[in-house]
Amino acid sequence: MHLAYPAVLAALLFCVGLYGVLARRNAILVLMSVELMLNAVNLNLVAFDVWLRDTLHSGQALTLFTIAIAAAEIGIGLAIVLAVYRNRGTSDIDRLRDTAETDEAEGNEPPGKTKKAEATT
Residue-wise pLDDT tens digits, 111-120: 555 555 555 5
Q: Taking the complete model, does pTM exceed 0.85, yes or no?
A: no
121 in a structural domain: no
Enclosing domain of residue 34: 4-107
Residue 115 lies in a domain: no
pLDDT of 109 higher than 70: no
Residue 118 within a domain: no
The pLDDT of residue 13: 98
Contacts of 74 (CB under 8 A, 6+ apart): 31, 35
Q: What is the structure's pLDDT at 120?
A: 58
CB-based contacts of 28, cutoff 8 Å, min separation 6: 78, 81, 91
Whichever domain contains 25, its CATH number is 1.10.287.3510
Give residue 89's identity as a one-letter amino acid code. Answer: G
Q: Which one-letter DSSP state was computed for residue 91?
A: -
pLDDT digits (tens, 9 = 90+) for 46-80: 999 999 998 899 999 999 999 999 999 999 999 99
Looking at the domain assignment, is residue 120 inside a domain?
no
Crossing angle of the two packed helices 58-88 and 93-106, in degrees rounded to 10:
50
Q: What is the identity of the amino acid at 108?
A: N
Of the pLDDT bands very low, low, confident and very high (cuts 50, 70, 90), residue 105 is confident
DSSP 4-52: HHHHHHHHHHHHHHHHHHHH--BHHHHHHHHHHHHHHHHHHHHHHHHHH
Q: Look at residue 95 and tell me if it is in a domain.
A: yes
Widest pairwise Cα distance in the chain: 72
Length of the chain: 121
How confident is the model at residue 108, as a pLDDT?
Answer: 64
Predicted confidence (pLDDT) per residue in 9-28, tens digit: 999 999 999 999 999 989 99
Q: Let me know if residue 117 belongs to a domain.
A: no
Q: How many domains does the chain have?
A: 1
Residue 36 lies in a domain: yes
pLDDT at 107 over 80: no
Does 113 map to a domain? no
